[in-house]
Structure 1
Amino acid sequence: MLSLLLLAGSRLVLGGVLAARDAAPVGPFGLYAYGGGITGAQVFYSHDVAYIGDQMQMDDDEAAPVVFTTGPNDALVGNPDIKSSKSIPSWSNKAFFVPKSTASSHRVGFTSKISDPDDDDDDADTQGFVFYGATALHKSADNTLHGLWSAVPTFSQKIWALQWNVTGGDVSESVSVTLRSTPPARPFDEV
């Protein structure tokens, strides 16, 4: 039942850490969004912001699909997938983050440093990314697992901004998605 909820793109919050959770994917991996008509759009980088979709439509030579590895304290470290980008980006070793619960922004992105969870001046939480099977979740300080990913439309029909914990008036334009380390059966741009 849990896997059906995750695939449906539901806003997932689980109490406590699941004893049966799997380890993070082995080796470099991509993250792909599923839900609300989005069928496997890959996470990509542009100007320290996380997007999903077709990075070739972005007017940014630094835009590139992200290949992740696991870092210390359940951090996810991203590097450009140069095989799939339109140029060779200059960025590397960027820590993936979600905004802390005290942040005013819902933006998901990348930063050059892994954050300190006790630093109140830092709105980025770069630690606590765990996987239940292939599904990416975030573990908060109270050991609650969250899957609060959302996709917000941009200027392109094939690019969405990746956001976290979208609530209130922002919900109308956003689509709940699930992030998984499993690529789609067919490439996203063919759907």
Structure 2
Amino acid sequence: MLSLSILPLLVFGLVCSAHPFEKRQSRPTDSFKLYAYGPGISGLPIFYRNGSAEVADASKVDTTTMAAMTPINFTAAENTWVAHPSSSSRSNEGFTTLSTNTNMLCLDQGDTDSNPVSFTAVPATGKLDTTKHSNVWSTYGGYVLVTVSGANFYAKPTATDGLYSLLWSSSAEAMTDTIPVVLRTAEPATESVLN
């Protein structure tokens, strides 16, 4: 039988251990970036290009292709993430295609097992496009979570070396010619050390 003097200590321990768990599940309140991690992809940043989310290794991608891509930050509101041009961008090229307040990160819902991760306009009417899941985003300890059952992320190599299309699927099997990735808000440790 528990001593009554130990009971307050147990209650205190439960309250203290629940607080970090609650904090890990909260959504980011400041501007943040997204990075993809997977085999051969060690924390590559997510870029905006022509309405799609792409993963790029800037050290490998040619300068013409990089100039057409927009480095982005995100801000969170409820379960939606809005993309904004990064203030640390090297050029303004491509910014005209990315408004600072009208591009939500979304999961396109197509008829295939490989669907693009893209961007959709914030609707003025408040009605969300039912073919695009935009109010599904959250984080847990820096890891990106979505409320779509069984959703997995993949990077598909493009014809440009170091450039990948970001895809998602609710199928448990990996898509052909893709690399399974995890999305995180934490930048790679080597980038922090070098900067």
Under a length normalisation based on structure 2, what TM-score does the superposition of the two structures give? 0.71
- The answer on whether the counterparts of 1:150 and 1:175 sit within 8 Å (CA) in structure 2 is yes
Count of residues in correspondence between the two structures: 162
The code of the aligned residue for 2:175 comes to: V
- Helix, strand or coil at the partner of 2:146: strand
- Measure the CA separation in 2 of the matches of 1:137 and 1:85: 30
Structure 1 stretches of 5 or more lacking a match? Answer: 1-18
Is residue 165 from structure 1 mapped to residue 169 from structure 2 by the alignment? yes
**Offset from partner CA, 1:68-91 (integer Å, 9 cap, x none):** 0002x4000001113134325122
1:61-72 → structure 2 map (5 Å cutoff): 61-71=67-77
Which of these residues, 17, 32, 44, is aligned with residue 41 of structure 1? 44
Between structure 1 and structure 2, the one with the greater Rg is: 2
Q: If each structure's helix is expressed as a fraction of its own residues, which one has the higher value?
A: 2
Is residue 134 from structure 1 mapped to residue 142 from structure 2 by the alignment? yes
1:8-157 → structure 2 map (5 Å cutoff): 22-54=25-57, 57=62, 59=65, 61-71=67-77, 73-87=78-92, 89-90=95-96, 91-92=98-99, 93=101, 94-100=103-109, 103-104=111-112, 106-113=115-122, 116=127, 122-140=130-148, 144=149, 146-157=150-161
Rate the CA distance shift 1:139–1:79 in 2: closer, same or farther, 3 A: same
Divergent runs of 4+, >2 A: 54-62, 84-88, 102-105, 113-117, 166-170
Rate the CA distance shift 1:35–1:157 in 2: closer, same or farther, 3 A: same
Deviation at 1:113, TM superposition (A): 2.2
Under a length normalisation based on structure 1, what TM-score does the superposition of the two structures give? 0.72
- Helix, strand or coil at the partner of 2:92: coil
Greater length-normalized contact order (CA 8 Å, ≥ 6 residues apart): 1
- Helix, strand or coil at the partner of 1:186: helix
**RMSD of Structure 2 on Structure 1 (CA):** 2.9
**Offset from partner CA, 1:151-176 (integer Å, 9 cap, x none):** 00012221110001175997120111
